[in-house]
Chain A
Amino acid sequence: MLPSELPDRVGDEEDVVGFLTQSSQFNATMAKPAAFLPSPTSQETSVSRHGREPLERLWAIGLTAAGTRKLYGAAIFKAQAVRSIQLKVLADEPPPRHAAIRGWPWIETDPELQKAKQKELAALIARAAGEPLLR
Protein backbone atom coordinates (compact mmCIF):
# COMPACT_ATOMS: atom_id res chain seq x y z
CA MET A 1 0.00 0.00 0.00
CA LEU A 2 1.27 3.48 -0.90
CA PRO A 3 1.25 6.58 1.36
CA SER A 4 -1.93 7.68 -0.48
CA GLU A 5 -3.48 4.34 0.61
CA LEU A 6 -3.84 3.31 -3.01
CA PRO A 7 -2.55 -0.10 -4.06
CA ASP A 8 1.00 -0.32 -5.49
CA ARG A 9 -0.32 -1.48 -8.83
CA VAL A 10 -2.54 0.76 -10.94
CA GLY A 11 -5.56 -1.40 -11.79
CA ASP A 12 -6.61 -1.87 -15.40
CA GLU A 13 -10.05 -0.41 -14.66
CA GLU A 14 -8.65 2.43 -12.60
CA ASP A 15 -9.13 5.99 -13.89
CA VAL A 16 -6.08 8.14 -14.48
CA VAL A 17 -6.16 11.82 -15.27
CA GLY A 18 -3.97 14.22 -17.18
CA PHE A 19 -4.46 17.84 -16.15
CA LEU A 20 -4.81 20.52 -18.83
CA THR A 21 -2.87 23.68 -18.06
CA GLN A 22 -2.83 25.30 -21.51
CA SER A 23 -5.97 26.42 -23.34
CA SER A 24 -4.43 25.10 -26.57
CA GLN A 25 -4.22 21.55 -25.19
CA PHE A 26 -7.91 20.83 -25.82
CA ASN A 27 -11.02 21.79 -27.75
CA ALA A 28 -14.69 21.00 -27.12
CA THR A 29 -14.29 17.53 -28.63
CA MET A 30 -11.15 16.24 -26.98
CA ALA A 31 -7.84 16.84 -25.28
CA LYS A 32 -5.32 17.03 -28.14
CA PRO A 33 -2.64 14.38 -28.61
CA ALA A 34 0.14 16.84 -27.67
CA ALA A 35 -1.25 16.94 -24.12
CA PHE A 36 -0.13 13.33 -23.60
CA LEU A 37 3.33 13.40 -25.17
CA PRO A 38 6.19 12.49 -22.81
CA SER A 39 8.58 14.98 -21.28
CA PRO A 40 11.90 14.99 -23.18
CA THR A 41 13.81 14.93 -19.89
CA SER A 42 11.97 12.27 -17.89
CA GLN A 43 10.71 10.40 -21.00
CA GLU A 44 7.36 9.90 -19.28
CA THR A 45 3.93 11.51 -19.08
CA SER A 46 2.77 12.65 -15.68
CA VAL A 47 -0.75 11.65 -14.62
CA SER A 48 -2.71 11.21 -11.39
CA ARG A 49 -4.79 8.30 -10.18
CA HIS A 50 -8.28 9.77 -9.97
CA GLY A 51 -11.58 9.75 -11.81
CA ARG A 52 -14.40 12.29 -12.19
CA GLU A 53 -15.61 11.93 -8.62
CA PRO A 54 -15.28 13.38 -6.08
CA LEU A 55 -14.89 16.51 -8.15
CA GLU A 56 -13.60 18.61 -5.28
CA ARG A 57 -10.68 16.25 -4.70
CA LEU A 58 -9.99 15.99 -8.45
CA TRP A 59 -9.55 19.75 -8.73
CA ALA A 60 -7.52 19.90 -5.52
CA ILE A 61 -5.04 17.39 -7.00
CA GLY A 62 -5.09 19.29 -10.29
CA LEU A 63 -4.38 22.61 -8.65
CA THR A 64 -1.42 21.13 -6.80
CA ALA A 65 -0.12 19.62 -10.06
CA ALA A 66 -0.65 22.90 -11.95
CA GLY A 67 1.27 24.95 -9.41
CA THR A 68 1.40 28.55 -10.63
CA ARG A 69 -0.20 27.65 -13.97
CA LYS A 70 -3.91 27.95 -14.67
CA LEU A 71 -5.87 24.72 -14.44
CA TYR A 72 -8.35 24.48 -17.33
CA GLY A 73 -9.56 20.93 -17.02
CA ALA A 74 -8.86 17.23 -16.93
CA ALA A 75 -8.62 14.39 -19.43
CA ILE A 76 -9.65 11.11 -17.79
CA PHE A 77 -9.08 7.62 -19.16
CA LYS A 78 -8.69 4.02 -17.98
CA ALA A 79 -5.24 2.60 -17.28
CA GLN A 80 -6.18 -0.23 -19.62
CA ALA A 81 -6.32 2.23 -22.55
CA VAL A 82 -2.61 2.91 -21.98
CA ARG A 83 -1.67 -0.74 -21.53
CA SER A 84 -3.57 -1.78 -24.63
CA ILE A 85 -1.09 0.22 -26.74
CA GLN A 86 1.95 -1.35 -25.07
CA LEU A 87 2.73 1.56 -22.76
CA LYS A 88 3.02 1.23 -19.00
CA VAL A 89 1.18 3.14 -16.33
CA LEU A 90 2.94 2.89 -12.98
CA ALA A 91 2.36 4.36 -9.54
CA ASP A 92 4.98 7.02 -8.87
CA GLU A 93 4.46 8.64 -5.47
CA PRO A 94 5.20 11.22 -4.13
CA PRO A 95 3.17 13.34 -4.62
CA PRO A 96 0.16 11.31 -3.48
CA ARG A 97 -1.76 9.60 -6.31
CA HIS A 98 0.91 10.47 -8.86
CA ALA A 99 1.55 7.96 -11.66
CA ALA A 100 3.63 7.95 -14.82
CA ILE A 101 3.08 6.67 -18.34
CA ARG A 102 6.33 5.06 -19.41
CA GLY A 103 7.69 2.93 -22.21
CA TRP A 104 7.37 5.53 -24.99
CA PRO A 105 9.32 4.78 -28.18
CA TRP A 106 12.71 6.48 -27.96
CA ILE A 107 14.87 6.45 -31.11
CA GLU A 108 17.93 8.65 -30.52
CA THR A 109 19.10 8.28 -34.13
CA ASP A 110 15.84 9.49 -35.67
CA PRO A 111 14.00 12.05 -33.51
CA GLU A 112 11.25 12.68 -36.09
CA LEU A 113 10.41 9.00 -36.44
CA GLN A 114 10.42 8.81 -32.65
CA LYS A 115 8.00 11.73 -32.51
CA ALA A 116 5.74 10.24 -35.18
CA LYS A 117 5.44 6.97 -33.23
CA GLN A 118 4.83 8.86 -29.99
CA LYS A 119 2.14 11.00 -31.66
CA GLU A 120 0.23 7.96 -32.83
CA LEU A 121 0.19 6.56 -29.29
CA ALA A 122 -0.69 9.96 -27.80
CA ALA A 123 -3.58 10.24 -30.28
CA LEU A 124 -4.91 6.88 -29.08
CA ILE A 125 -4.79 8.05 -25.45
CA ALA A 126 -6.53 11.29 -26.48
CA ARG A 127 -9.24 9.26 -28.21
CA ALA A 128 -9.72 7.13 -25.10
CA ALA A 129 -9.99 10.22 -22.89
CA GLY A 130 -12.62 11.84 -25.12
CA GLU A 131 -14.28 15.07 -24.15
CA PRO A 132 -12.30 16.95 -21.50
CA LEU A 133 -13.84 17.74 -18.13
CA LEU A 134 -13.55 21.50 -17.86
CA ARG A 135 -13.20 23.36 -14.64
Chain B
Amino acid sequence: MVSKAASAIVELAERSQSLFGEKAAAISQLMALANDCAEQGWDGDGACAIHPTALQNAKDFLRALPESFPMPEFAPEPDGAISLDWIHSRHRLFSLSVGSSNRLAFAWLDGADRGHGVARFDGLSVPLRVLSEIQSIFNHGNAPLRIA
Protein backbone atom coordinates (compact mmCIF):
# COMPACT_ATOMS: atom_id res chain seq x y z
CA MET B 1 0.00 0.00 0.00
CA VAL B 2 2.78 2.41 1.04
CA SER B 3 4.82 1.35 -1.95
CA LYS B 4 1.85 1.97 -4.26
CA ALA B 5 1.41 5.49 -2.84
CA ALA B 6 5.13 6.15 -3.18
CA SER B 7 5.04 5.04 -6.81
CA ALA B 8 2.13 7.37 -7.48
CA ILE B 9 4.04 10.29 -5.93
CA VAL B 10 7.13 9.52 -8.00
CA GLU B 11 5.01 9.23 -11.14
CA LEU B 12 3.35 12.57 -10.41
CA ALA B 13 6.71 14.22 -9.77
CA GLU B 14 8.09 12.83 -13.02
CA ARG B 15 5.05 14.05 -14.93
CA SER B 16 5.33 17.52 -13.35
CA GLN B 17 9.01 17.59 -14.26
CA SER B 18 8.29 16.74 -17.88
CA LEU B 19 5.49 19.32 -18.08
CA PHE B 20 7.65 21.94 -16.42
CA GLY B 21 10.34 21.07 -18.95
CA GLU B 22 7.90 21.61 -21.81
CA LYS B 23 6.87 25.03 -20.48
CA ALA B 24 10.48 25.96 -19.75
CA ALA B 25 11.41 25.08 -23.35
CA ALA B 26 8.52 27.19 -24.66
CA ILE B 27 9.61 30.15 -22.50
CA SER B 28 13.15 29.81 -23.86
CA GLN B 29 11.75 29.94 -27.40
CA LEU B 30 9.80 33.07 -26.48
CA MET B 31 12.91 34.76 -25.15
CA ALA B 32 14.87 33.86 -28.28
CA LEU B 33 12.08 35.35 -30.40
CA ALA B 34 12.07 38.57 -28.35
CA ASN B 35 15.82 38.75 -28.77
CA ASP B 36 15.54 38.33 -32.57
CA CYS B 37 12.96 41.12 -32.72
CA ALA B 38 14.43 43.44 -30.10
CA GLU B 39 15.07 46.27 -32.53
CA GLN B 40 12.62 48.55 -34.30
CA GLY B 41 12.25 47.57 -37.97
CA TRP B 42 13.11 43.87 -37.51
CA ASP B 43 10.86 43.14 -40.52
CA GLY B 44 12.52 45.75 -42.72
CA ASP B 45 9.19 47.57 -42.83
CA GLY B 46 8.82 49.61 -39.65
CA ALA B 47 7.82 46.83 -37.22
CA CYS B 48 7.97 47.69 -33.51
CA ALA B 49 10.41 45.81 -31.30
CA ILE B 50 8.80 43.11 -29.12
CA HIS B 51 7.63 45.01 -26.06
CA PRO B 52 9.08 43.76 -22.73
CA THR B 53 5.58 43.80 -21.20
CA ALA B 54 4.31 41.67 -24.09
CA LEU B 55 7.08 39.17 -23.39
CA GLN B 56 6.20 39.08 -19.67
CA ASN B 57 2.48 38.68 -20.47
CA ALA B 58 3.26 35.82 -22.86
CA LYS B 59 5.34 34.06 -20.19
CA ASP B 60 2.53 34.51 -17.66
CA PHE B 61 0.06 33.12 -20.19
CA LEU B 62 2.18 30.01 -20.76
CA ARG B 63 2.54 29.43 -17.02
CA ALA B 64 -1.23 29.75 -16.63
CA LEU B 65 -2.04 27.39 -19.51
CA PRO B 66 -3.50 24.12 -18.15
CA GLU B 67 -1.01 21.29 -18.34
CA SER B 68 -3.24 19.15 -20.55
CA PHE B 69 -3.11 21.77 -23.32
CA PRO B 70 -0.54 21.64 -26.12
CA MET B 71 2.12 24.35 -26.20
CA PRO B 72 1.66 26.95 -28.95
CA GLU B 73 4.11 28.05 -31.63
CA PHE B 74 5.29 31.66 -31.55
CA ALA B 75 5.65 34.44 -34.12
CA PRO B 76 6.45 38.14 -33.88
CA GLU B 77 3.80 40.67 -34.88
CA PRO B 78 4.62 44.02 -36.50
CA ASP B 79 3.14 46.05 -33.62
CA GLY B 80 5.48 44.50 -31.03
CA ALA B 81 3.04 41.84 -29.82
CA ILE B 82 3.69 38.08 -29.84
CA SER B 83 1.45 35.63 -31.66
CA LEU B 84 0.75 32.31 -29.93
CA ASP B 85 -0.50 29.86 -32.54
CA TRP B 86 -2.12 26.45 -32.16
CA ILE B 87 -2.05 25.02 -35.67
CA HIS B 88 -3.81 21.72 -36.24
CA SER B 89 -3.84 22.27 -40.00
CA ARG B 90 -4.14 25.31 -42.24
CA HIS B 91 -7.90 24.89 -42.06
CA ARG B 92 -8.01 24.55 -38.27
CA LEU B 93 -6.01 26.95 -36.18
CA PHE B 94 -6.26 29.33 -33.26
CA SER B 95 -4.08 32.45 -33.14
CA LEU B 96 -3.78 34.63 -30.04
CA SER B 97 -2.03 37.99 -29.74
CA VAL B 98 -0.29 38.83 -26.50
CA GLY B 99 0.67 42.49 -26.35
CA SER B 100 1.44 44.93 -23.60
CA SER B 101 -2.16 45.33 -22.41
CA ASN B 102 -4.21 42.81 -20.43
CA ARG B 103 -6.59 42.28 -23.34
CA LEU B 104 -5.89 39.38 -25.70
CA ALA B 105 -6.94 39.52 -29.35
CA PHE B 106 -7.62 36.19 -30.98
CA ALA B 107 -8.95 34.65 -34.17
CA TRP B 108 -9.62 31.15 -35.38
CA LEU B 109 -10.36 29.13 -38.48
CA ASP B 110 -12.25 25.88 -38.08
CA GLY B 111 -13.18 24.52 -41.49
CA ALA B 112 -15.84 26.80 -42.91
CA ASP B 113 -16.28 28.47 -39.53
CA ARG B 114 -14.13 31.43 -38.51
CA GLY B 115 -14.19 34.28 -36.06
CA HIS B 116 -12.35 36.60 -33.73
CA GLY B 117 -12.67 38.03 -30.24
CA VAL B 118 -11.02 39.80 -27.34
CA ALA B 119 -10.64 38.46 -23.79
CA ARG B 120 -9.19 39.89 -20.61
CA PHE B 121 -6.21 38.10 -19.02
CA ASP B 122 -5.55 38.66 -15.30
CA GLY B 123 -2.06 37.17 -15.44
CA LEU B 124 -3.10 34.08 -13.51
CA SER B 125 -5.93 32.27 -15.31
CA VAL B 126 -6.36 31.78 -19.03
CA PRO B 127 -9.81 33.09 -20.01
CA LEU B 128 -12.31 30.23 -20.40
CA ARG B 129 -13.33 31.44 -23.84
CA VAL B 130 -9.75 31.14 -25.06
CA LEU B 131 -9.40 27.63 -23.58
CA SER B 132 -12.65 26.61 -25.15
CA GLU B 133 -11.59 27.80 -28.63
CA ILE B 134 -8.23 26.01 -28.40
CA GLN B 135 -10.06 22.92 -27.24
CA SER B 136 -12.44 22.97 -30.16
CA ILE B 137 -9.53 23.21 -32.64
CA PHE B 138 -7.89 20.09 -31.24
CA ASN B 139 -10.90 18.03 -30.23
CA HIS B 140 -12.25 16.86 -33.56
CA GLY B 141 -12.31 13.10 -33.11
CA ASN B 142 -9.74 13.20 -30.31
CA ALA B 143 -10.01 12.78 -26.55
CA PRO B 144 -11.04 16.13 -25.07
CA LEU B 145 -8.42 18.37 -23.47
CA ARG B 146 -9.07 18.97 -19.79
CA ILE B 147 -9.66 22.62 -18.89
CA ALA B 148 -9.07 22.13 -15.16
Q: Is the CB of B87 within 8 A of A127?
A: no
Alpha-carbon separation in the docked complex, A66 to B41 (Å): 12
Question: Within the complex, what minimum Cβ distance (angstroms) separates A81 from chain B?
Answer: 12
Contacts of B37 in A (CB 8 A): 22
Q: Which residues 62-101 in A have Cβ within 8 Å of B in the complex?
A: 65-67, 69
Closest residue of A by beta carbon distance from B77: A34
| Cα-based distance from A41 to B104 in the complex (angstroms) | 21
Q: A115–B44 contact, CB under 8 A?
A: no
CA distance A69 to B36 in the complex (A): 11
- Name the residue on B nearest A119 (C-beta): B107
Q: Is the interface of B mostly helix, strand, loop or mixed?
A: strand
A115 and B109 CA atoms in complex are apart in Å by 15
* CB atoms of B107 and A34 under 8 A apart: no
**Contact partner, A123, options B46, B73, B101, B107, Cβ 8 Å:** B107
Give bound CA distance, A126 to B42, whole Å: 21
For residue A109, CB closer than 8 A to chain B, the reply is: no
- Residue in A32, A37, A42, A115 with the greatest tally of chain B CB atoms within 10 Å: A115
In the complex, the answer to whether B89 meets A29 with C-beta atoms within 8 Å is yes
Is B48 in contact with A40, judged by CB distance below 8 angstroms? yes
* Tier of interface size on chain B: 35 or more
Which residues in window 4-63 of B have CB below 8 A to A? 33, 36-37, 42-48
Q: Please measure, in the bound complex, the distance between the C-alpha atom of A73 and the C-alpha atom of B27, giving whole angstroms.
A: 26
**A:101-121 near B, CB below 8 Å:** 110-117, 119-120
Give min CB distance, B44 to chain A, whole Å: 5
Task: Fill in one digit per residue for B76-103: 1 if any A CB lies within 8 Å of its CB, else 0.
Answer: 1111010101010111010101010101
| Complex alpha-carbon distance, A37 and B87, angstroms | 17
**In residues 1-54 of chain A, which contact B (Cβ within 8 Å)?**
21-22, 24-25, 27, 29-30, 32-35, 37-42, 46
Q: Measured between alpha carbons, how far is A24 from B93 in the docked complex, in Å?
A: 16
Quick check: B99 and A33 within 8 Å, CB to CB? no
Instruction: Tell me, rounded to whole Å, the shortest Cβ–Cβ distance linking B80 to chain A.
Output: 8
* Shortest distance from the beta carbon of B125 to any chain A beta carbon, whole Å: 18
Q: Contact residues of B with A, CB < 8 Å?
A: 33, 36-37, 42-48, 73-79, 81, 83, 85, 87, 89-91, 93, 95, 97, 99, 101, 103-109, 114-118
